[in-house]
Amino acid sequence: MNADVSQFAKAKGSDTVRATTWGLLATAALIGGIFIGSRGMRDFDPALVSYAGATLFAAFGLGYRFSMWLRRPPTRLYWYRGWQLFLTPGSFWKNLGHLFEIFLSNFVLQRFIERRSHMRWTAHWFLAWGCLMAGAITFPLSFGWIHFETGRSSQDIYRAFLFGIPVGQFPVHSVIAELAFNALDIAAVMVLIGVFSALWRRGRDHGAMAVQQFANDLMPLILLFAICVTGLFLTASTHLMNGLHYTFLSQLHAITVIITLVYLPFGKFFHVFQRPAQLGVDFYKRAGREGEQAVCIRCELPYGSRMQMDDLKRVQEALHIHYQLLDGTHYQDVCPKCRRRNLALMQDNMWKSTRIESERS
Amino acid sequence: MTNGEFFIDYSRCIGCEACVQACGECDTHRGVSMIHLETIERRDSVQTAPQICMHCEDPICAQVCPADAIKKTPDGVVQSSLKPRCIGCSNCVMSCPFGVPKYQIDIDQMMKCDMCYDRTSVGKKPMCATVCPSGALTFTTMQDIQRTRQGVPVNEWRFGVEIVRTKVYVMVPKEVTRVDVDLVQIATTAAALPPDPYDVALMLES
């Protein structure tokens, strides 16, 4: 099995060709999904074609970048190990239960962010759930997967269809209708709370100010702000201004969404797709704790899991990092504490040698 | 950043822990001290040594990171892991040749010395070098260190056959041009020693 793992750490073939292939496959899968889900484009809304087009580009970018990311030896190895440990025969149901537990804690409640700071958590939770809610509505709508029709017998009844199948109906003047028609506005308000909380923190936290970058940290907030505000303008135009400049505003909103979709695979938003790797690492760490422990060759104390140290040696080999020491031992088998102590002793020995030589001469 | 460089001289450390306390004052990792202060051979010696991040030219911590979460600034400072990306695997902690990164279990993130980037990026000295009374940690110009010290600053290391170049320099005797790291074994390992219930220092360490 270990030989197989070593092979897995080393990617073969051209990175670009593979990544492009995966990008094209992701795009093709989405085109197929749109075609089938909209019942041969019968339910597809041509007014939303620009959104669907930008999403296809985003699908290519995500497929390309995800593939490139998986080409890195440590990422490949963790990806493989995560699935291997999750699908271990006999532990599958136990693992599924644990997956649900960490999904709830890390994804739904995002507790690990709360422990970093309450303000960061507030910003992130509202941003994440506002965006997810908006995405869950916008993407199926623009793909023609869901659509609404007025009832055949009454104009006061709205019918909802999923993949062309009727899934429910509700009166136009009802609480459900208000929630359904304004769901994107609710999502926009949630995202705006997140954007302002994030900007508040970034404008006051000296540490964040020292390391933040415009393209990586502020640009995503500006894009989300633009989407939300132009989206809310549409509602305001409809309900408060008798549709004033609605066409212009809808085009402006579409532009902000398209720019964000194009930015999605290459900017900070990519972490949404990277982050689930944290779930796999949790299984890896748990297996490491339960398995054999590595013992430091210098202090003879355990310092980590044997599996991780062996995997790291494979990753280092794939990365051409050569830690084999001259005495035949491996530097990876020295614990971090001993590495630090060793450096001080090394310097000490150099000065001792110099002193002895100068005394001799 | 000023034209200052960071110089570390383990042999000058007096173990006062001023660097440990000052490190926690840095805004980029407020309240969490990132520096390591090691007692070299706990029961046999009072020798101590600080360890800051050496800020490698091609950081091994970043190479082994599966999440691609460790980045270097254009001025050569290797930052703590990016919060949105770090998945808390500890590959960096276990691979760093200098044993620097720290995994913060409560926030599930790797943090490390970033040379007080909020300070050094605006021309100030890092906190640890500002308070170190013995010059074990010094942030000054190359000319100044050559004028005031006996040894020479070196920033090239060899671990096995792996050559590592760092932004931070270590002070070594004049004839040395590169630090070839071999394992300096200790006479008695902690594991081999009988337990001493009154070893206060060991208790503090653990």
Residue A357: pLDDT over 90? no
HSE (CB half, 13 Å, CA atoms) of A175? Answer: 0
Q: Residue B201: its pLDDT value, please? A: 61
A286 touches chain B (CB under 8 A): no
A305 touches chain B (CB under 8 A): no
- Chain A residue nearest residue B67, CA to CA: A75
Per-residue pLDDT of A244-257, as tens digits, reads 999 999 999 999 99
Residues of chain A contacting residue B30, judged by C-beta atoms under 8 Å apart: 207
Query: Residue B39: helix, strand or coil by DSSP?
Result: strand
Average of pLDDT values for A143-169? 91
**Nearest residue to A306 via CA among A297, A298, A90:** A297
Shared-domain flag, residues A299 and A218: no
Q: Which of A280, A306, A323 is the last residue of a domain?
A: A280
Contact state of A299 with B189 under an 8 Å Cβ cutoff: yes
- Chain A residue nearest residue B103, CA to CA: A336
Average of pLDDT values for A61-75? 94
Query: How far A316 CA sits from the closest chain B CA (Å)?
Result: 7
Of B28, B38, B109, the CB nearest to A211: B28
A111 touches chain B (CB under 8 A): no
| Residue numbers of the domain that contains B129 | 5-205
Contact state of A74 with B64 under an 8 Å Cβ cutoff: yes
Of A281, A300, A344, the CB nearest to B10: A344
Query: Residue B199: helix, strand or coil by DSSP?
Result: coil
- A147, A148, A152, A155 alpha-carbon torsion, rounded to 10°: -160
CB atoms within 10 A of CB B113: 30
Shared-domain flag, residues A270 and A298: no
Average of pLDDT values for A168-187? 92
- Tell me the count of A-B CB pairs closer than 8 A: 199
HSE (CB half, 13 Å, CA atoms) of A276? Answer: 8
Within its chain, how far is the Cα of B200 from the centroid?
Answer: 25
Contact state of B88 with A284 under an 8 Å Cβ cutoff: no
> Is residue A286 situated within a structural domain?
no
Angle at A295 between CA A290 and CA A298, to 5 degrees: 165
Q: Which of A254, A280, A306 is the last residue of a domain?
A: A280
Q: Which token pair is A358?
A: 């100068």
Among B10, B11, B41, pick the best mutation site for testing chain A contact (most A Cβ within 10 A): B10
- Chain A residue nearest residue B51, CA to CA: A340
Shared-domain flag, residues A227 and A174: yes
A127/A200 Cα distance (integer angstroms): 14
Shared-domain flag, residues A138 and A176: yes
Instruction: Please state the domain count of chain B.
Output: 1
> Is residue A285 situated within a structural domain?
no
CATH number, domain of B180, equals 3.30.70.20
Residue with more model confidence, B185 or A97? A97
Contact state of A327 with B183 under an 8 Å Cβ cutoff: yes
Which residues have CB under 8 Å from B60's CB, separation 6+?
A: A321, B95, B96, B97, B162, B164
Of B68, B118, B173, the CB nearest to A210: B118
Sign of the dihedral defined by the CA atoms of residues B39, B180, B151, B52, in that order: negative
| Residue numbers of the domain that contains A55 | 2-280
Please, what is the angle between helix A306-318 and helix A73-86, to 10°?
140
Shared-domain flag, residues A351 and A275: no
Residue A3: pLDDT over 60? no
Q: Which token pair is A216?
A: 């990586």
CB atoms within 10 A of CB A121: 18
Q: Which token pair is A64?
A: 């390309």
Could you tell me if the ipTM is greater than 0.95?
A: no
- A143, A254, A23, A26 alpha-carbon torsion, rounded to 10°: -10
Residues of chain A contacting residue B65, judged by C-beta atoms under 8 Å apart: 74
Q: Residue B206: its pLDDT value, please? A: 59
Q: Which of A280, A302, A323 is the last residue of a domain?
A: A280
Contact state of A77 with B66 under an 8 Å Cβ cutoff: yes
Residue A10: pLDDT over 70? no
B152/A83 Cα distance (integer angstroms): 50
Shared-domain flag, residues A275 and A297: no
Per-residue pLDDT of A79-112, as tens digits, reads 999 999 999 988 889 999 999 999 999 899 999 9
A87/A92 Cα distance (integer angstroms): 6
- Chain A residue nearest residue B99, CA to CA: A336
Shared-domain flag, residues A308 and A245: no
Contact state of B47 with A344 under an 8 Å Cβ cutoff: yes
Q: Residue B1: its pLDDT value, please? A: 45
Shared-domain flag, residues A223 and A154: yes
Contact state of A308 with B106 under an 8 Å Cβ cutoff: no
Of A75, A339, A350, the CB nearest to B66: A75
Query: Residue B33: helix, strand or coil by DSSP?
Result: coil
Contact state of B91 with A350 under an 8 Å Cβ cutoff: no
A268/A220 Cα distance (integer angstroms): 7
Shared-domain flag, residues A140 and A72: yes
Contact indicator for B19, B128 with CB cutoff of 8 Å: yes
Shared-domain flag, residues A266 and A296: no
Which residues have CB under 8 Å from A147's CB, separation 6+?
A: A43, A45, A141, A160, A161
Shared-domain flag, residues A273 and A309: no
Contact state of B191 with A299 under an 8 Å Cβ cutoff: yes
Residue B72: burial class (beta carbons within 10 Å; 0-12, 13-18, 19+): middle
Per-residue pLDDT of B36-86, as tens digits, reads 999 887 666 778 999 999 999 999 999 999 999 999 999 999 999 999 999
A351/B170 Cα distance (integer angstroms): 12
Contact state of B66 with A211 under an 8 Å Cβ cutoff: no
What are the backbone dihedrals phi and psi of residue B64, each rounded to the nearest 5 degrees, phi first?
Answer: -90, 0
| pTM greater than the 0.95 cutoff | no
Shared-domain flag, residues A68 and A142: yes
Residues of chain A contacting residue B51, judged by C-beta atoms under 8 Å apart: 340, 343
Average of pLDDT values for A151-175? 90
Q: Residue B177: its pLDDT value, please? A: 94
Instruction: Please state the domain count of chain A.
Output: 2
Average of per-residue pLDDT values in chain A = 92
Residue B9: pLDDT over 70? yes
A173 touches chain B (CB under 8 A): no
Which residues have CB under 8 Å from A338's CB, separation 6+?
A: A296, A298, A299, B99
Contact indicator for A188, A195 with CB cutoff of 8 Å: no
A205/A194 Cα distance (integer angstroms): 16
